[in-house]
Every structure is written in C-alpha cells, then in structure tokens.
Structure 1
C-alpha cells in the first residue's frame, strides 16, 4: 500500500503527529519497532503549550482522569512516608534539582494566567499520554503497526520505506524514532552538540531500606538523587561519565550500587518494575527537513531530562508540523511552508538544550559548581526567582516571529470567552484554522466565525492557525496571513 505519510516511532511525538494529520484526512502509517508499550518511567508532566494543544483537540478530560489517578498515588505515598508532617507546599517544578515552592510563586503574573482549563493540568506521565494518544490516533483512522522496524529508505518523487516486514511507499517520511533512531542517521542530518558527562538512572522499584531516603530532590557530596513523588520511584545522577552500556537491561544490583553511591543509604532492591539509564548528551539537527524526510521530537534534538522539557518539546513539534504537512499533501500550500517548521521550532529546541546544559553545570559535585549552586538556591527561594523559573519551565514564553504589531501575534492564543458562550479553544477541536470576526474585519470573509469578545471590545478580529498560534489580531496584514497560512480560503 501507499500512504501520504509514514511516521517512524509511536512515542508521544509520533502519535500526536498522526492525530494531527488524520484530522485533515491524510493517510498515515505509524511504525514502531517495539512490539509492546514501553512502560519505563520517563517524563512525568506536561507544560502549558502541550496542555493547550491537548485541550484544543478535546483531549483534556482524558488527561484530567490520568492526573487524578496520579494524585491519588502521590497522596498515599506522602501519607505513608510523613504521617506527622505538615502538608508540603504546592510543587511548582525544579531547576537543577532545586525544588520550586508554589508558596513563592507570584500567581498574579499575567503570563501565568488566562490559559483556561489547562491551568489545572500538568501531572500526567509519558506512559499515560502515549496510551491516550494511541487510542485517539486509532479512533481517527491512523494505522499503527507495532514490532515493525524501519531499516532503510530511498527517496525520489516518493519515499520507499524498507522495514523488517517489507517495503512501503509514502509521499513523506517523518522520523519520530528518538535520539538514536534510524531515520536521522540514514538521511544524513547533521547533529552537532556537546558530549555526555553523567550517568543517570530512573526506575520504579520495590525495595527495603527506603525509609532512610529523603523525599524529593536531594543533593549529596557525590551527586543528586530523587525519591518519589510516586511509590517506588527513584532517580540518581552520578558525574562519572556516560554509562558504558545503554541497551542492556538495568539490574537490581546496578540500581542498588547507584543509590548507595549517591545517597549513602543501604537499600536493597527486591523487584525492578521498570528502569532506564540516561545521560546529558545534548545535540540538535541543523535543519528538521531534508527533501521528503522530516524529523520531530528526540530525533531532532536530544538533551538531559531535567526540567521535563523533552516530551513537551516533541508535542510542540508535532502540532507545528502536522497541519503544515497536511496542507502540502493536499496541495493547499506550497512545500516552502515546511521551511517554517524548522525556522519556528529550531530556536525553541536550541533554548531547551541550553536550559538543560545550565542545570548540569549547577548539579556537578565540584566546589565551584556547588558555590554557584548555593547562590542560585538563594535566588530560587524568592518570589521573583520562583516566578522566573516557573515561567520558563511552563513554556508560557514561547513565541514565533510573525508580522504584526499586536502582542498576541506569534504567541499561543488566549482562551477567550466569546459572546456566544463558547471559548476560543472550543473552535479548534477539528484541527482547522479559525478566523473570528469580532465586528471589525476590514473585509467580509464568508467562513469567519462572527461573534463578540466582551473581554476585549477593542479587538476587530483574530486569525488563529491550526496550532493555536495567533497569525493576525488587527492591522493591515490579514490578507497576507490568510494567503500564507491558509491559501485561498480561511478554514482547512
């Protein structure tokens, strides 16, 4: 069979991209080399841009249910470990294993408000998100084949994708197969960056002696470790170079040795439910497209997991790329629109790499790094400091360089309450763009949604791209924005 798009990798990025493409009736095949879901503990939260993307596609109730399940486990864990302790302050994330307290957060900051229902969503694990997105991709008609590995491909007017189960044809191939995936390497993408210097372990285990471990992030003379917020979850960071092996199973003895080396606590691992090694290799492809081959997620950029940026960065890639690729497949927009995928997403990926490198520098056990860490710890423990770090981690600062003078242009659209009783996010479930006529459009556009916005009576209208980015909010650029992002009509 022949498909419009083949996606290599069924992680959150690949599945989100499949969902986005299927909203536009693009035929999609997702190939995943693993035969079963990877339940290894990885990312544990979603940031504001990712949560907004799920909200705009009608997935927020499923994420809310997963979050409630996690909160129940967290409350039980804290009750068992700290029976007489006062309730901990609201968790706001961490920077370089320095916990950010919600008690220090300036919640009046305008950038931390106005995101609608997504303000209540965050505590969702990667495994849960993959299950939600797999279910949704299949509902939308994407074909997902597990246990099938991409082994090569040839490009021309089409892409012939060679797999462990045979050859399949497609118009486009997108590598969402991770930092060590096949697609980027075979396509010849440049992947510069900095080498690793740590060995990290993250695992869900059953163990004895855990009562000697602290809760949350703990800094020790030999490294960093974390315990919780879920029962049996442990993470260690040792600054003794990268792991010798990346693909062999993590053994109980290896985990015991790492925990003891960093914490000094004599724990015994009785069962490993899931475990992984990680490091801080930080690299980024110089472009996200070579001809008919594109990259998204970890295939395009790798870094340490600190700050929880990787999962969210990949979701952002998928949401930015999906509607553009669909418009090219349907010949509604020229291929050149795919160049904006790199130009918009590459700077955000580069920022994430620098953000994670800075955290590694502060986590090192040498005396100079620890002296600087003490200074940053003082800053973190202030309202201004906590608010700064939370805003960075949350992703509310992200924007694209689009023409227009209004401060919303190039940024994620606020979830406006409209005069007809709906919210802006309600109009984006179908993955299409949105032109709101709020009473002041310079020309009549047949498929504009005509309503009002009591919160902003001065706003003549709003053009929102399918990824939720404001492309126009008044001024002289409406016709140009419509043509660039939507072709001859406004909703696709």
Structure 2
C-alpha cells in the first residue's frame, strides 16, 4: 500500500508528487494518457505564464534553472538578472480582460515585502516543459508514475482509499485528484461543484491565415468579442460570446472557425488550413471543500475558470505546494491536530478570488454598451501607476496573504528571499523541503529552541542585507511566513508557532 495515490500527471499532480517524495512518502501517480506530452501541451498552444509565487516554488526546490533551460529564451517576458544587475521592474506586465498593462508603470517597490533575488517575476514556459522538469525530479525522488491507467472507481475505507482502474486496484492511505477540469475523482468521490455557467466559447488555434497582416497583434476587444494574435506564426485565440454553446458540442471545422474569426474581428480574413485547435469556456466552478475523508483535490479538479490572465496553472501549483508538506506531515505522523484541514481553509478563498477575477474580466469583455463603458474606465485605471501595480500584484500573487491569526504584517505572506552576509539566501535553505527558522543578528537566542524539531525545521542565523524590520522569521515548507518577531525575538513565541505548524518536538513525542 502506498502512502498517497495521485490521479493525474499534469503539472499539479507532478508538483504534488515531488513535494511528497521529497518528504520521504511512498507515492504512486496514475495518468489516463499513455504518453508524456501532446501537441496541445507543447508550444505554441501549450504556452503558459508562471508568475512570482510559482517561480518561487521552483526556485526554492532547486528547479528554477532546469525550468528555464526547458522553457527556452525569455525574450520580453522574464529573465534571471545578471549578478551585477538588480531588476527595477518586471519584463512582463500581464493584462486585465485583454487590456495590457504598461510594465513601466508597475512599481515593484510598492508590492509588500519584496526583495530582489535570482527568481524572476515571471517565466514563459509550456505545459510540456513544466511536466518534463517535474517528471524528472519525481523519478529521482522515487515517485512511481503509471500511464494509460484511467481510474473508474474510488472507494474509501476507515484507514485507506482504493482506486479502481479496470480489473486493477491501487490502495493508499490518501488519494488526491489532480485530474483536471473534468475530474473523474471529483465526481466519483462526491464533491459538490458549484459556480456560474459560461458566457463565451473560446478557441485557441494554430492555423494558416490569408492576409495575416490584417489581424492586429496582441489582444483586440471588438464590438462582437475578442481575438488575440500571438507572436508565434498562425497562433491565435478568439472569444465568441455564444453562451458557451459550441464548446465540445461538435468538432470545430475550418469553416466554423473562419466564420467566428470574421464575425469577432470584423475582418474578411481567410483560414486556409487549421493545424491544431482546442476550445474552452469561462465556466467558473469550485468545489465547496477540497477534502472528503481520505480524498483531496487540487488544481483544476477543485476549481475551473477561464484562462484569462493565466491564473489556472499558477493557482494549481499553489495548491500543490500548500498541500504537499501538510499531507506529508500527516502521513509521517507528526502533523498537529487540524493541519490538513488548513489546506481547504487557506486555498479555498484563493480559488474563489481567482474565479471572481475571471468573472470580472468576462463581464468587462462582453460585447455590449455597458461593458464597453466599463472598459474605458478600466483602461484609465490601469494606465496609472497604482492601477497597474494593483493588477500586477493580483496576477503575480504578490498580494496573497493567508489569515494565520497574527497581526505581524509578514505572517501569512510568501517569505522574502533574505540574503545573508555570506551570500546564502533563504531560497538556498529550502531545497530539502523543511521549514526554516531565520534569526537575524549575532545573538543566536533561538538556536537551542529548535532542539527536537531539527528534522522538520532548519536553523540559520546571521546579519542579512535587509531584515525588513524583523528579528526572526519562521518559514513553512511552502515558503509562507508562519511566525515573525521584531528585533527582540522570544523563545515562547517561536515554540508556540512551531508546535502549531510542525507538531511537538521529537524529544516530546
């Protein structure tokens, strides 16, 4: 019997598998597709943007360089800065409802508790590249991946859960569904899935178009919808406000795609040949909880929405990183009471906020006078420094803060990448998946307090380039600040926080 069975070998399932494998758990991943990768997951249709919180997750596990190598040149999007160069703004701004941000107006200094470091604000990659990097790391960690295994039933018992695939059965202590927007696990395990119905059918395609110069590059909001002409030759997307009627209802033929593109663009373009095409909608749904018994959900299995703003992959990676260490602690028997429940407590509000962000964009894009009036207001707002910085903060995850019950402004946020005088960064200390206690200064008052937690919490001390006004910081394995103290940290406060998130020290177990 495995500790955990994960259903779905996409980026979210593989990221979760890596987190669990890093903690020494026995992990089996079941994937219904036979082969790794497909044309729809490779560039250009598989292109995705990884924003700050996701890039930080790769960086903290030592996977940033492999990710950048697999993703290719980051021209105009994001790049690791030269050692002597400190970036003053991101290379990519993003958009809201197809209205692009002016990256020169984004003030990174206004984002909360940001310190420059090796991790860029964004990385342009594709699903195939992300999956290849995570698959290789998962294999090195002893994770087993079985492909061509479609799960047909999920049966829970008191101490285990069994996944059925044909005549084969796979038993584990826990099962996590990471099997996408049409999740089989979600349906089989009886999760409640609620939300709003679609306003449009979206098409993304690679096609040969006659007279491509007549289609303007970038996002184009029109009186009848939206189209996007991307840099890659023949790569475009179209949003047709038909109430989602066409999505997967019938194969999108060349003639149909041409008719939609002409109507939405208002141009007499000709699609000569369709090489690849997929459809999607802005249906926005979320499960009411992320756990039922011994079954949990992550990524699109737990929440779906339109791809506007590139939030889907990033939200899913956030789910995996948040869940991984908590489930591992539960498996290994040192999780404090209720730790696994904090996965839903923390990630469900994030998913709900992303759904509303998507809905707001769709409402702004609608081809009717009221929405077009809103577009004018939004353009004015994001044309300001405050507006552009706010939208970028939402896209990047910089504004994200979990409510951990502390008034300290750092607690609940992604930890800044503190730089010690010897050149060590916080990111360097997190590769093994442990929490980290940082004490700034030379007193080392808390060093003895880590006794008994060494296997779960690493200790590091010394002056840093910028301590942001703190004397000590406890960082969870997912990079979130669990506790912080001012210049005079106290042992009792640290031990209470450590017990809350990491369980009792080994000596007391």
Q: Give the TM-score, by structure 1 length.
A: 0.91
* 2:299 equivalent in structure 1: 297
Cα deviation for residue 205 of structure 1 reads: 2.8
Q: Determine if the alignment matches structure 1 residue 221 to structure 2 residue 231.
A: no
Q: 2:233 aligns with which of 228, 231, 234?
A: 231
Distance 1:117 1:193 in 2: 39
Q: Residue 223 of structure 1 contacts residue 238 of structure 1 at CA under 8 Å; is this kept in 2? A: yes
Q: Determine if the alignment matches structure 1 residue 48 to structure 2 residue 52.
A: yes
Distance 2:433 2:363 in 1: 40
Give the 3-state SS of the residue equivalent to 1:274 in structure 2. strand
Q: 2:445 aligns with which of 441, 450, 453?
A: 441
Give the 3-state SS of the residue equivalent to 2:172 in structure 1. strand
Q: 2:163 aligns with which of 161, 164, 186?
A: 161
Q: Aligned in 2, Cα 1:326/1:273: closer, same or farther, shift over 3 Å?
A: farther
1:437-466 deviations in whole A, cap 9, x for unaligned? 333535712345242133229633221110
Provide the aligned C-alpha RMSD in A.
2.4
1:263-307 deviations in whole A, cap 9, x for unaligned? 133444444443211111111111100000000001111111111
Distance 2:460 2:108 in 1: 33
Q: 1:380 aligns with which of 363, 379, 382?
A: 382
Q: Residue 303 of structure 2 contacts residue 351 of structure 2 at CA under 8 Å; is this kept in 1? A: yes
Q: 1:471 aligns with which of 476, 482, 491?
A: 482
* 1:417 equivalent in structure 2: 419
* 1:197 equivalent in structure 2: 199
Aligned positions of 1:356-371 closer than 5 A: 356-371=358-373
Distance 1:346 1:377 in 2: 30
Of stretches 356-365 and 65-74 in structure 1, the one that deviates more from structure 2 is: 65-74
1:120-158 deviations in whole A, cap 9, x for unaligned? 542222332122212221222211112211111111021
Distance 1:140 1:238 in 2: 44
Q: Residue 31 of structure 2 contacts residue 150 of structure 2 at CA under 8 Å; is this kept in 1? A: yes
* 1:461 equivalent in structure 2: 472
Structure 2 gaps, min length 5: 79-89
Cα deviation for residue 334 of structure 1 reads: 4.7
Structure 1 gaps, min length 5: 75-88
Q: Residue 334 of structure 2 contacts residue 502 of structure 2 at CA under 8 Å; is this kept in 1? A: yes
Q: Residue 199 of structure 2 contacts residue 242 of structure 2 at CA under 8 Å; is this kept in 1? A: yes
Q: Give the TM-score, by structure 2 length.
A: 0.88
The total of aligned residue pairs comes to 476
Aligned positions of 1:250-269 closer than 5 A: 250-269=252-271
Aligned positions of 1:124-135 closer than 5 A: 124-135=125-136
Distance 1:223 1:354 in 2: 20
Q: Residue 205 of structure 1 contacts residue 270 of structure 1 at CA under 8 Å; is this kept in 2? A: yes
Q: Residue 336 of structure 2 contacts residue 499 of structure 2 at CA under 8 Å; is this kept in 1? A: no
